Amino acid sequence: EVQLVESGGGLVQPGGSLRVSCVASGFTFSSYWMSWVRQAPGKGLEWVANIKQDGSEKYYVDSVKGRFTISRDNAKNSLYLQMNSLRAEDTAVYYCARGYRIGQHWGQGTLVTVSS
Amino acid sequence: DIQMTQSPSSLSASVGDRVTITCQASQDISNYLNWYQQKPGKAPKFLIYDASNLETGVPSRFSGSGSGTDFTFTISSLQPEDIATYYCQQYDNLPLTFGGGTKVEIK
């Protein structure tokens, strides 16, 4: 059974940093693109970033370019999102999802709150 | 970026009604479209891929159609458990983009 479990969310002040993680199981992690998608409270879904199987390609939505970095450790079946210079508008549930086009497999999400 | 315009933003229908949601892309995306169902506090559930293909295990009352810029999602007979917000999502180009969502309620 495919499982994606996010962690690392929490309360952070504006301008601060946070790293969220996603541990994958039930499939060959190194064979798949992985994505981060976020959802602000009461709002819709927004794709944030994705990363190729070997980490050689990474793409971001414009609003996080230069502030967020997606990475992965295939030996640990783990996906990461390093978030710097956080803003109030980054407050959201962050989901990891399997695949370039996303689709079936999502984690349960981790809440990141940016507030003073 | 490709904009995905979903309508309506909300609807209220009776159990057994046919429900239709539309999703319009700002440019041709062929059939590179997913549909999801999301219930409060839960991750989205994948329903349809390639605009019209039902994911395994999804009830047959759900269907999708369309290509190019205009797409339709249909629930043929609304059930109480279908109360949720539905999203379309294109994967023709990065950034991947979602429609704004359609909240479906029971009348």
- pLDDT tens sequence across A11-63: 999 999 999 999 999 999 999 999 999 999 999 999 999 999 999 999 999 99
Residue B46, chain A, CB below 8 Å: the answer is yes
Look at residue B39 in the predicted model and tell me its pLDDT: 98
Mutate to test the interface with A, among B9, B96, B98, B103 (most CBs of A within 10 A): B96
Name which of B107, B102, B105 is nearest B36 in CA terms.
B102
Nearest CA in chain A to B103: A44
Summarised one tens digit per residue, pLDDT across range A26-35 is: 999 999 999 9
Q: Which residues of B touch A62 (CB under 8 A)?
A: 1, 95
Using alpha carbons, list the distances in angstroms from residue B73 to A52, B12, B29, B41, B61: 30, 16, 16, 23, 11
Tokens, residue B31: 């059939």
Summarised one tens digit per residue, pLDDT across range A79-113 is: 999 999 999 999 999 999 999 999 899 999 999 99
Name which of B74, B66, B55, B85 is nearest B25 in CA terms.
B66
Under the banding of pLDDT at 50, 70 and 90, the label for residue B68 is very high
Summarised one tens digit per residue, pLDDT across range B76-93 is: 999 999 999 999 999 999
Residue A106, chain B, CB below 8 Å: the answer is yes
Q: Which residues of A touch B91 (CB under 8 A)?
A: 100-102
Alpha-carbon span A10 to A24, nearest angstrom: 21
CB-CB under 8 Å, A61 with B95: yes
CB-CB under 8 Å, B32 with A107: no
Residue A42, chain B, CB below 8 Å: the answer is no
Summarised one tens digit per residue, pLDDT across range B28-58 is: 999 999 999 999 999 999 999 999 999 999 9
Look at residue B60 in the predicted model and tell me its pLDDT: 98
CB-CB under 8 Å, A103 with B94: no
Pick from B46, B94, B95: which is nearest to A103 by CB? Answer: B46
Under the banding of pLDDT at 50, 70 and 90, the label for residue B105 is very high
Mean pLDDT of chain A: 97
Under the banding of pLDDT at 50, 70 and 90, the label for residue A78 is very high
